[in-house]
Amino acid sequence: MPVTISDVARAAGVSKGAVSYALNGQAGVSEDTRRRILSTAAALGWTPSLRARSLSSSKAYALGLVVARNPRLLGTDPFFPSFIAGIETTLADSGYSLVLTVATQTGSEEASYRRLAHEGRVDGVILSDMRTDDSRIALLLELGLAAVTLNRPDTPSPFPAVCMDDTEGISQAVQHLVDLGHTRIAHVGGTQHYIHGLSRRNAWANTLKLNGLETDLFIEADFGATEGVAATADLLARDNAPTAIVYANDIMATAGQAYAQQQGLRIPADLSVTGYDNTEYAQYLNPALTSIGSDPLLWGSSAAQVLLNQLDGTHDGADVVLPAPRLITRGSTAAPHNRSSSGSK
Amino acid sequence: MPVTISDVARAAGVSKGAVSYALNGQAGVSEDTRRRILSTAAALGWTPSLRARSLSSSKAYALGLVVARNPRLLGTDPFFPSFIAGIETTLADSGYSLVLTVATQTGSEEASYRRLAHEGRVDGVILSDMRTDDSRIALLLELGLAAVTLNRPDTPSPFPAVCMDDTEGISQAVQHLVDLGHTRIAHVGGTQHYIHGLSRRNAWANTLKLNGLETDLFIEADFGATEGVAATADLLARDNAPTAIVYANDIMATAGQAYAQQQGLRIPADLSVTGYDNTEYAQYLNPALTSIGSDPLLWGSSAAQVLLNQLDGTHDGADVVLPAPRLITRGSTAAPHNRSSSGSK
DNA sequence: ATGAAAGCGCTAACAG
DNA sequence: CTGTTAGCGCTTTCAT
C-alpha cells in the first residue's frame, strides 16, 4: 500500500492541503512547517500520485510528438531517433514524459493530435516537419494545446519556435562547388511542401544567382532513396547534365552517388555530390560524402525545454535560435574533371 | 465544459454506475438499457475521461518502451523507427498510447523503468535488445509491470515473447557464400552481450562447422560504423584474410565495404560482403548489398498486440513466432575471384 | 498561516 | 438486474 498525502499530513500533524502547498512550493504554509512537511514526506518515502494530480489539476505532465511519415522513409532518416533522444535529455529530470505517436496513414495525423488533446494525454506538442501553410497551427489552437515549432512557420503562429537555419549549410555547399569551378550545379530537393524542403531549394537557387549561374537544374524528390535515384538519372540524362549535385539529404545523395557510379561516372572526378544531415555512414561511403552536419539532439532538447518553459509560464515568448549546421567537406566533392558540356550518357 | 458521466446518467435516467457498466461492457445492466445508455452517451458526445479512469481503475492505458542505446548508434539503426511505427499500428485503435523513453546514460535505463512504474505511466513495457542474463526481467517482476520480450531470453522469463529468428538468415548467408566457393568466411558480430549479437555469431559458426570450415575469423564490434571498419581492417590484414565477411548489420557492412574498396579491393571479386536488416539504402550501395530482410514493423505490431492481450487477460501465455527474415542476394556477393591464400595487404 | 471540505470523473462494492 | 454510494489521491476554495 503506497503512502498517500493523508499519511504525510497525519504524520506531520497538518492537513492534506498544507502538504499540497508545501509540495508545490505555493504560499499558504510557513517556511518552517513547509520544511517539516517535506522532511516527513521524505521520511515516509512519499511521492505524489501522478494520476491523482492529473485528475485534479487537469494536466498530463507529458509532452507529445506526432511523427507523420511514410513508414519506408522512417527507418532511413537519422533525424527522429536523435531528435527524440534530445527531447529525452530534457525531460529526464522534469517529471514529464514523452508520448509518441506515428501517423503513417494520410489523415491519421490530425486524428492523432485530436486524440492526444481529447484524452488529455499531453499538455503540449512539438511540431516537426513544418509544412507550408501548415494546418496544424489552427488545429492546435482549436484544441487548446500548447506547442513549439521547429523553425518558424510561413504563416502567423502564436507558438514559440526553435530555429536551426538550414539555408546556410546549403549555401556553403553551393559556394564550395562554385569555388571548385562548377557551373552546372543541380539540386535534388525534398518534398517542397515541407518548409525545409523549400528553404533548401531557395538557398541553392539564391547562391547560384549570386554567382550568376542558372537555376534550371532542379528536381523535387521525396527525401527517399528511390526518388533520389530517379532524379539523378533524370539529371544525368540531360544535355546540360550537371557536374555537381546538391542533395537535400544524405540518403538521396548516397543512392544518387551509387547510381552515378553504376553508370560509369567517377565521383568526384565526373560528378561531385553533397548531402545533408551528416549521417553516421556518410564518412564511410566510397568516396566519403560531403555533407552538412545538423544537430538533432540539440534541437530536440531545446524544443522540449522551450515547451516546458512555456507550460510553466517561464518562457518569454521569443524564438530560440540554434547554431546553423555547417558544411563538412569530404571526398565526394572536387573540381570538375573536364568542362565539356556534353551529356554523360 | 465537457460532458461527464453524470450528464449521461441524468439524460438516460440511470445512475452513474449503470453508465460505467454499460461503457465497460460489464454485467449489471440489461441489454436494453445498455443500448439506451450508449446511444444517449453518443448523442451527448460523451467520452470517458482518461484521467478519471486512470485514477479510479489504477491503470495507465499506456505502454512503455525504453530504448537504451548510444545516441550515436541510434540515428544509424533503421530498427527503432519502423518498430515503433509497428507498435503504433496496433495501438492506434486500442485507446492505448506509447510512452517512449531513451536512456543514453548507462544506469539510467533501470531508472527509466522504475520511473515508468512508480509514476504509473504505463501498464506494461516492451523489452527490446534482450541481453544475456538480462537483469530487466527481475526488475520488472519487482516493479510489477507486465511485459513482452523480443525473442525469448536466455534466462527463465514469465513474460510472453514475440520471436523472430535471426539465425536462419545468417545461416542462409553463410551457406550462400559456401556454395559460391568461399572457404574463409569471417563474421563481424555485434555486441555479444546482446542475445541477437550472440545468436548471429552462433548461426555463423554452426553453419561453417556443418560445412567443415574453420570459425576463427570472428571479431566483435558494436553494431556501429566505426568499429565495423576497425574489424574489417583487422580481418583484411591477417595472413588468412577472409574472402567473404558476414556482418551483423547493414551499417557495419556498408562501412566495411567502403573501407575494403578504399584499400583497393574489388567487391565482390576480391571480397564478398553481407549485411543484416535490409536497410532501405542497401540496394543503392555500389555494389548493392546482399542483406537479410527483417520486418520490424510486424515485430512491433505483434509485440504490442501480445502485450495488450496480456493486459486484458486475453493472451494464452504462448510465445508468438513470426516468420524468420530471409536472405536477399545482391551484387556484393559472388564467387571468390582467386583462391590464393595471401593476405590482401 | 492553517485546516476543513468540496470536488475532479470515474470504478466498484454494496444494498435493493 | 438496477441504483446508491463510497472512495481513488490530490488541488483548491473558503472559512478560521
Interchain contact A244–B (C-beta under 8 A): no
Interchain contact A46–B (C-beta under 8 A): no
Q: Domain span at residue A232? A: 167-293+328-342
Q: What pLDDT was estimated at residue B281?
A: 86
C1’ C1 / CA A49, Å: 26
Give dist(CA B278, CA B64) in Å, integer: 27
> Is residue B176 located within the same domain as residue B252?
yes
Interchain contact A317–B (C-beta under 8 A): no
Q: Which nucleotide is the nearest neighbour of A34, by CA and C1'?
A: C1
Q: Quote the radius of gyration of chain B (alpha carbons, Å).
A: 26
Q: Which nucleotides of C are covered by protein (CB under 7 A)?
A: 1-14
B 135-154 near A (Cβ less than 8 A) = none
> Is residue A270 located within the same domain as residue A307?
no
> Is residue B306 located within the same domain as residue B249?
no
Interchain contact A266–B (C-beta under 8 A): no
> Is residue A289 located within the same domain as residue A185?
yes
Cβ neighbours of residue B294 closer than 8 Å, sequence gap 6 or more: B79, B164, B166, B169, B276, B277, B278, B325
Q: Can you read off the three cell numbers belonging to residue B216?
A: 576463427
Q: Which nucleotide is the nearest neighbour of B58, by CA and C1'?
A: D8
The string of pLDDT tens digits covering residues A268-327 is 999 999 999 999 889 888 899 999 999 999 999 999 999 999 998 888 889 999 999 999
Q: Where are the alpha helices (DSSP H) in B119-224?
A: 136-143, 167-180, 195-210
Nearest CA in chain B to A60: B51
Q: Quote the radius of gyration of chain A (alpha carbons, Å).
A: 26
Residue whose cell numbers read 485503435? B93
B62 near B97, Cβ under 8 Å?
yes
Q: What pLDDT was estimated at residue B286?
A: 86
B245 near B267, Cβ under 8 Å?
no
Domains contained in chain B, number: 3
**Residue B309 belongs to a domain:** yes
Interchain contact B259–A (C-beta under 8 A): yes
Q: What pLDDT was estimated at residue A289?
A: 96
CATH number at residue A153: 3.40.50.2300
Nearest CA in chain B to A50: B119
Please list every residue in chain A whose beta carbon sits closer than 8 Å to the beta carbon of residue B102.
84-85, 88
> Is residue B215 located within the same domain as residue B171?
yes
| DSSP E strand boundaries for B275-337 | 291-293, 320-322, 326-328
> Is residue B181 located within the same domain as residue B88?
no
> Is residue A208 located within the same domain as residue A335?
yes
Assign 3-state DSSP to chain B and report helix, strand, coil percentages, each to 5. 45, 15, 40
Mutate to test the interface with A, among B100, B128, B267 (most CBs of A within 10 A): B100
Profile chain B (345 residues) by mean pLDDT over runs of 10 residues.
81 84 78 84 88 91 94 85 95 94 88 95 97 97 96 96 98 98 98 97 98 97 94 97 97 94 95 96 90 96 96 88 98 82 40
DSSP string, B231-264: HHHHHHTSTT--SEEEESSHHHHHHHHHHHHHTT
B 112-131 near A (Cβ less than 8 A) = 116, 118-121
Residue of higher predicted confidence among B286 and A215: A215
> Is residue B197 located within the same domain as residue B318?
no
Closest CA to A274 of A259, A260, A258, A257: A257
For strand D, list residues 37-76 of chain A whose Cβ lies within 7 Å of it.
46-49, 51-53, 55-57
For residue B16, say whether its CB is under 7 Å from any atom of strand D: yes
Interchain contact A81–B (C-beta under 8 A): yes
Give dist(CA B80, CA B85) in Å, integer: 8
Let me know how many helices (H) and strands (E) chain A has, helices first.
Answer: 13, 12
**Residue A141 belongs to a domain:** yes
Q: What pLDDT was estimated at residue B312?
A: 86
* Contact check, Cβ <8 Å, A78/B80: no
Nearest CA in chain A to B49: A119
Q: What pLDDT was estimated at residue A342?
A: 42
**Residue A303 belongs to a domain:** yes
**Residue A55 belongs to a domain:** no
Output the average pLDDT for chain A.
Answer: 92
Give dist(CA A313, CA B147) in Å, integer: 38
**Residue B52 belongs to a domain:** no
pTM tops 0.85, yes or no: yes
Q: How confident is the model at residue A1 (pLDDT cuts 50, 70, 90)?
A: low
Interchain contact A82–B (C-beta under 8 A): yes
The string of pLDDT tens digits covering residues A150-174 is 999 999 999 999 999 999 999 999 9
C1’ C6 / CA A16, Å: 13
SS3 labels along A167-200: HHHHHHHHHHHHHHCCCCEEEEECCCCEHHHHHH
B64 beta partners: B99, B125
**What residue type is A286 in one-letter code?**
N
CA closest to D13 C1', residue: A17
Closest CA to B273 of A272, A284, A230, A267: A284
**Does B287 sit behind a cis peptide bond, omega within 30 degrees of 0 on the bond before it?**
yes
> Is residue A145 located within the same domain as residue A123?
yes
The mean pLDDT value for A318-341 works out to 88
**Does B268 sit behind a cis peptide bond, omega within 30 degrees of 0 on the bond before it?**
yes
Q: Which nucleotides of D are covered by protein (CB under 7 A)?
A: 1-14
Q: Nearest CB to B99: which of A52, A97, A119?
A: A97
**Residue A52 belongs to a domain:** no
**Residue B55 belongs to a domain:** no
B322 near B302, Cβ under 8 Å?
yes
> Is residue B268 located within the same domain as residue B285?
yes
CATH number at residue B20: 1.10.260.40
- A21 pLDDT above the threshold of 90: no
Closest CA to B294 of B212, B188, B172, B182: B172
Give dist(CA B272, CA B290) in Å, integer: 9
> Is residue B111 located within the same domain as residue B124?
yes
Burial of B113 by CB count in 10 Å (0-12 exposed, 13-18 middle, 19+ buried)?
Answer: buried
Nearest CA of chain B to the CA of A213: how many Å?
31
Q: How confident is the model at residue A338 (pLDDT cuts 50, 70, 90)?
A: low
> Is residue B85 located within the same domain as residue B222?
no
**Residue A217 belongs to a domain:** yes
